[in-house]
Amino acid sequence: MPQQVKKLTGFSLTWKLLLVPVVAAIGFAIYLIYSSMVLSDGNALLKEIRDADFPILYAAEKNLGTQNNIIEALNTAASAGEAEFLDIAREKAEEIRARYEELNRIDTTHKKEIEKLKREFDDYFSQASDVARLMTYKKEVPDTAQLMKMRAARDLYLSDALQFRNDAEKEFHVTVSKAIERSERAQESGAAIGAVMLLVIVTLTILVTRGIMALEKGVADRNIMLAEMNKELEGEIRKLKAAEEARSHAEAASQIKDEFLANMSHELRTPMNAVIGLSHLCMQTEMSRKQHDYLQKIHRSAKSLLGILNDILDISKIEAGKLEMDQTPFDLEEVMSNLATIVSNKSHEKNIEFLQETALNVPSSLIGDPLRLSQVLINLAGNAVKFTDQGEVIVRVEFEGEAEGVVALRFTIEDTGIGMSEKEISRLFQPFTQADSSITRKFGGTGLGLTISKRLVEMMGGNIWVESTLGAGSKFIFTAHFHKAEKQVTHVQQLSKDLRSLRVLAVDDSESSLHILKSYLESFTFEVTLAGSGVDALQAVKRANEEGKPFALVILDWKMPEMDGIELSRRLREMHGMTLQPKILLISAYGQNEMAQQTDRRVVDGMLAKPFQQSKLFDSITQLFRRDESQTGRFKIAGAQFDPELVSRIRGARLLLVEDNEINQQVAQELLESFGVRVVIAGNGEEAISILNEGKFDGVLMDMQMPVMDGVTATREIRKNPKFATLPIIALTANVMVSEQNEFIDAGMNDHIGKPIDPDRMVATLAKWVYPARMGEVTQPPKKTATAASMPLPDLPGINVAESVRRIGGKVAIYYSLLGMFRSKEHDVVTRIREAWQMGDSKTAERLAHTLKGTAGTLGAETLQSQAGILENCFKDKIADDIDGHLEQLERELSLFNASIDRAIEARNSG
Amino acid sequence: MWALAASFAAMNAHADVVVIVSVRNPITHLTPRNVSNIFLGKVNEFPDGGKAVSIDQAEGSVIRNEFYSRVVNKTASQMTAYWAKAIFSGDSFPPQRLENAAAVVKFVASNPSAIGYVDKSDVNNEVKVILEP
């Protein structure tokens, strides 16, 4: 453990260290100031003493001396009788007087004494000089009395003068000793302050030294601690490095394993295809029941084995990090529609309801990987159907949130199946496990589906979890993130005014279904009434009629207990006294065409396959109410209005169209020629190259999937010739995934046009790339770029004829000829696909499905188009699971379409 | 005794100075030194302790000069200088001065403390000679 380092408390170290010099400096300054003050005081005193030099003492001393002189002078005068000495004595006396005068002036404190002294001196001197004069001049000794008097004056004066002198001397001594005392005191106090300063500085120094020592100890402790930590960290790093090494070893091993697995799965698939295909073929031959039973078991086992292999391949791809999420624009509605098509087959077989509800605020145009989303949805919905024996399976899509153009969607797959216990749920997403091993035995499956789904969901930025109660159904919920496309396609168009606030009755025995219907219908501004059974519905209609608010539309479910949809429709039609005959829309889990076969057109006005999307419901309803128009008069399609400026730019160009499919050849050719473009056709890439070398072209329209040589290969070959370096090559493709687009561009293509061809887009793209060089050559412009359809549109149930005709420039005749061509070319396409598939040639199968998708799209056969698309994806992604089912469904759809075409052509010929 | 006195007088042709005290004074004899000390003011008492008051004679008189030269061993001017000095700087006083011998004898006779000098011939029985230089 790293030891704790004791933090130094209190002031910061800097302040503490600063304190020493600061205090020392202040102290020293005080000391200097004080000592200089003391010194100057002492000096002043000394100066005072020096300057004073005690005039009193001096004068007193001097006077005493002069006094002696006077006596001597008087002595001499008296003894020798010399009068000059009297004068001398007088002079000396004057000296003394002068001194006293002077003293009196300078020393005011002793005025009295001085005056007295002076008086006494005068007294003495006058007597003494009398005596002296007497003795000098008269040679007489004065009598004793006179002498005694003189002596007394003399002694008084002398004693006082002496006293004065002594006092002065004493004063002098006192002053000096006072000065000395003061000086000594100053010295003492200076020393005391100095000592205190010294003490303070020493104390501070000790404190700071202690602080520094503590700091050094702290630093040393910290260093030790750091060293320890360093050691620990190094240990950690070594451990991490070891772990990293171990991990990279493991990763490398796992990488090798995954690659091996991927290869193995791939290698296993080829023989599996042979087993499945051949056992299927074998079952067509004549054999004993036992043999047939064996073969069927082989076939089924092989199929399930293939399914397992596919799952393993997926898992390996994911684990090896080879699975990449596409980022391509897609339509969520399409995904949901595909899901409906695929899953409703099974749910129908098991006689359970399969419903979809997409919340209205969910954006439909997204960017992401639609195939992977489909895979997860198909897996989860497929499981739900698998584990549900009665009731319903509902797929809900809800909007979770949006941030910076990324939307989070929540998908809920709810069933009323067997459910799961907590324990089972906890094991659910582990690879190779299912809720219960007995379940595997009962229901089959690898248990990889959920693991794959989980990984895919995570790759889509989401989560997956389960809410379930044993015996009461399960809810699989997952979230996923998608970018929102800049332009949102609104599937639900504006309602025509007369349809607003339409009164609608929805009839279904399933509450969920009614709930979905209600929410969709209300979003169309309709007034919705719900009925849970046929009896209720009849009553509701009756009541509404009586109240004068009759229903304009009744939407009813086919499969209902007691009274089914068909029966209810009949009863509704037979009702008397109706002020308004409601339109009837029948909803069923069966395919539309299947329903059409079984129901009388006179009983119901329209049909809608379940599950449906909001837009499908909308379309169906608007179609119901539009039919009136198409029946009363021939409604005309306004020919597409092309931008004349753009059309003029491509007019006269010569293009090479490379396309193997004859229908598509015709569509493109007709369209291009209507713009005044001359078209030469090549059937495949090889042909295209040879034709290009023969003549001059302004551009190439290249299909992608063709026999002999595909579009990408052909483009690469063409680009090899420097002559064609700048030749515009435009891809014609139904594949609009980002990765594939990149492939086109890599191959040297300039642009691409999606199939089915949108004329506007075609014109715009061509105008951009193909600018005819030959200026002088102007071809005859077509009389009209927009033509009005003068003949009735063929009546093809479930086919979007109007849109399709618009795409080919509004030429109904061409549409008819395309129908005929489709009839003759594609009638056996499913058989061809199946053969190719069973022979293990998935490439061809994929191409055929792709072509079918394109032509069906061109003709407006949307169901057929989407079916073919699903198959194409199955082949492409090697999802072998449901191919047979899809093929059957496609076959059904195709035969219905073919029959419709026959009828339409017949009607036209006769009409 | 006469003979002695006569011979003495014969020997001193000018004057015969003697030092006298009162007969009541117990002193019988003094040395010249004792006498000069008293006359120079150096002592104020006799050797036996009795008070001594010296009596001088007029300045310039023969007897005075005789006395100071024989007993004190000083001339008259020396004595003047001595007393001038003593008067101004000292504490002693010069001896009291009387006009003549008779006054001196009278004063001494009447005052037992007094001491004076006279000519020998002026001595009477009221005074006694304590020194004959």
pLDDT in tens, A450-493: 888 888 899 999 999 988 888 888 899 999 999 988 877 666 66
Q: What percent of chain A clears pLDDT 90, i.e. is strictly above it?
A: 8
Q: Is A88 on the interface with B (CB under 8 A)?
A: no
Q: What is the average pLDDT across A185-211? A: 81
pLDDT reading at A210 higher than 80: yes
pLDDT reading at B12 higher than 50: no
> Would you call A135 and B84 a contact, using CB atoms and an 8 Å cutoff?
yes
pLDDT of residue B114: 92
Nearest-Cα distance to chain B for A87, in Å, is: 16
Nearest-Cα distance to chain A for B96, in Å, is: 8
**Pair of tokens at residue A444:** 């089959």
> Would you call B87 and A148 a contact, using CB atoms and an 8 Å cutoff?
no
Residues of A in contact with B74 (CB under 8 A): none
Peptide bond into B32 cis (omega under 30): no
Q: Is B80 on the interface with A (CB under 8 A)?
A: yes
pLDDT in tens, A65-117: 888 888 888 888 888 878 888 888 889 889 888 888 888 887 777 888 888 88
Nearest-Cα distance to chain A for B1, in Å, is: 40
pLDDT reading at A381 higher than 80: yes
d(CA A487, CA A331): 11
Q: List CB contacts of A523: < 8 A, sequence separation 6 or more.
A: A360, A492, A614
pLDDT of residue A463: 92
- The better pLDDT of the pair A631, A41 is held by A41
Residues of B in contact with A141 (CB under 8 A): 83, 87, 94, 97
Model confidence at A595, pLDDT cuts 50, 70, 90, reads: low
Best mutation target, A69, A74, A75, to test chain B (most B CBs within 10 A): A75
pLDDT of residue A858: 83
Best mutation target, B88, B96, B97, to test chain A (most A CBs within 10 A): B88
Residues of A in contact with B84 (CB under 8 A): 75, 78-79, 135
> Would you call B89 and A135 a contact, using CB atoms and an 8 Å cutoff?
no
Model confidence at B106, pLDDT cuts 50, 70, 90, reads: very high
Of B80, B88, B94, which has the smallest distance from its Cβ to A128's Cβ? B88
Smallest CA-to-CA distance from A372 within A460, A308, A269 is with A460
**Contact pairs from chain A to chain B, CB under 8 Å:** 38
d(CA A555, CA A223): 84
Residues of A in contact with B53 (CB under 8 A): none
Nearest-Cα distance to chain B for A83, in Å, is: 14
d(CA A99, CA A93): 10
Model confidence at A780, pLDDT cuts 50, 70, 90, reads: very low
> Would you call B85 and A75 a contact, using CB atoms and an 8 Å cutoff?
yes
Q: Is B89 on the interface with A (CB under 8 A)?
A: yes
Task: Please tell me which residue of chain A has the smallest CA distance to B91.
Answer: A151
Name the one residue in this structure whose structure tokens are 């501004």. A525
Q: Is B88 on the interface with A (CB under 8 A)?
A: yes
Q: For the ranges A317-321, A776-780, B127-131, which has the lowest average pLDDT?
A: A776-780
Question: Where are any strands of DSSP class E within A711-839?
Answer: 729-733, 751-754
Q: What is the average pLDDT across A143-170? A: 87
> Would you call B85 and A74 a contact, using CB atoms and an 8 Å cutoff?
no
> Would you call B87 and A80 a contact, using CB atoms and an 8 Å cutoff?
no
Best mutation target, B39, B56, B87, B89, to test chain A (most A CBs within 10 A): B87
pLDDT reading at A807 higher than 50: yes
Q: Is A152 on the interface with B (CB under 8 A)?
A: no
Model confidence at A395, pLDDT cuts 50, 70, 90, reads: very high
Smallest CA-to-CA distance from A417 within A429, A435, A433 is with A435
pLDDT in tens, A498-552: 677 788 999 998 888 888 889 888 888 888 999 988 889 999 988 888 888 888 8
Of B85, B88, B93, which has the smallest distance from its Cβ to A144's Cβ? B93
> Would you call B88 and A74 a contact, using CB atoms and an 8 Å cutoff?
yes
Of B84, B93, B94, which has the smallest distance from its Cβ to A79's Cβ? B84
Question: Where are any strands of DSSP class E within A690-728?
Answer: 699-703
pLDDT in tens, A432-454: 555 455 554 444 455 678 888 88
Helices (H) and strands (E) in chain A, counts: 28, 17
Task: Please tell me which residue of chain B has the smallest CA distance to A69.
Answer: B89
Model confidence at A10, pLDDT cuts 50, 70, 90, reads: low
Contact criterion met (CB below 8 Å) for A358 and A333: yes
d(CA A385, CA A476): 12
pLDDT reading at A786 higher than 60: no
> Would you call A135 and B87 a contact, using CB atoms and an 8 Å cutoff?
yes
pLDDT of residue A618: 84
CB-count exposure of residue A286 (10 Å: 0-12, 13-18, 19+): exposed
pLDDT of residue A441: 44
pLDDT of residue A785: 40
Q: Is A151 on the interface with B (CB under 8 A)?
A: yes
Nearest-Cα distance to chain A for B81, in Å, is: 4
Nearest-Cα distance to chain B for A57, in Å, is: 24
pLDDT of residue A631: 34
pLDDT of residue A239: 92
Q: Which residues are paired to B55 by β-bridges?
A: B96, B116
d(CA A599, CA A586): 10
> Would you call B85 and A79 a contact, using CB atoms and an 8 Å cutoff?
yes
Task: Please tell me which residue of chain B has the smallest CA distance to A144.
Answer: B93
Q: What is the pTM of this model?
A: 0.39
d(CA A320, CA A656): 43
- The better pLDDT of the pair A624, A366 is held by A366
Nearest-Cα distance to chain B for A58, in Å, is: 23
Q: Is A692 on the interface with B (CB under 8 A)?
A: no
Contact criterion met (CB below 8 Å) for A193 and A34: yes
Q: What is the average pLDDT across A156-185? A: 83
Contact criterion met (CB below 8 Å) for A407 and A484: yes
> Would you call B88 and A75 a contact, using CB atoms and an 8 Å cutoff?
yes
Task: Please tell me which residue of chain B has the smallest CA distance to A130.
Answer: B88
Question: Where are any strands of DSSP class E within A563-698?
Answer: 583-588, 606-609, 654-658, 678-682
Average model confidence (pLDDT) across chain A: 79
pLDDT of residue B18: 93
pLDDT reading at B91 higher than 50: yes
Instruction: State the helix-helix crossing angle for A842-859 and A662-674, rounded to 10 degrees.
Output: 40
Task: Please tell me which residue of chain A has the smallest CA distance to B89.
Answer: A71
Here the ipTM equals: 0.77
d(CA A390, CA A559): 14
Terminal Cα distance for chain A, rounded: 99
> Would you call A132 and B88 a contact, using CB atoms and an 8 Å cutoff?
yes
Model confidence at A635, pLDDT cuts 50, 70, 90, reads: very low
pLDDT reading at A810 higher than 50: yes
SS3 per residue for A241-286: HHHHHHHHHHHHHHHHHHHHHHHHHHHHHHHHHHHHHHHHHHHHCC
pLDDT of residue A213: 87
pLDDT of residue A262: 63
